[in-house]
Amino acid sequence: MWFGKGWREGAVSGTVVAVGVLGLAGAALAANPVKGATYSGALAAPRSSYKVSFEVSENGGQIDGLTISNLPFYCPGGGGAIPIKFADAPISKSGTFTSTGKYITLEGPLKGQLATKLTITGTFGQGGSEAGTVTSTWVKLHSCSGQSSYTAKS
Output DSSP code: residue 40.
E
Instruction: Indicate the pLDDT class of residue 50, thresholds 50, 70 and 90.
Output: very high
Report the C-alpha gap between 20 and 83 in whole angstroms. 46
HSE (CB half, 13 Å, CA atoms) of 145? 14
Instruction: Indicate the pLDDT class of residue 5, thresholds 50, 70 and 90.
Output: low
Q: Please state whether the predicted TM-score (pTM) of the whole model is above 0.85.
A: no
Q: What are phi and psi of 14, to 5 degrees?
A: -60, -40
Q: What are phi and psi of 115, to 5 degrees?
A: -95, -45
**Residues 2-25, mean pLDDT to the nearest whole number:** 44
In sequence order, the β-bridge partners of residue 38 are 55
Tens digit of each residue's pLDDT (9 = 90 or more) over 106-151: 888 889 999 999 999 999 999 899 999 999 999 988 999 999 999 9
Q: Judge contact between 41 and 152, C-beta under 8 A.
A: yes
Tens digit of each residue's pLDDT (9 = 90 or more) over 57-112: 999 999 999 999 999 888 887 778 889 999 999 999 999 999 999 999 888 888 99
Which of the residue ranges 4-8, 29-33, 71-75, 147-151 has the most confident prediction, judged by mean pLDDT? 147-151
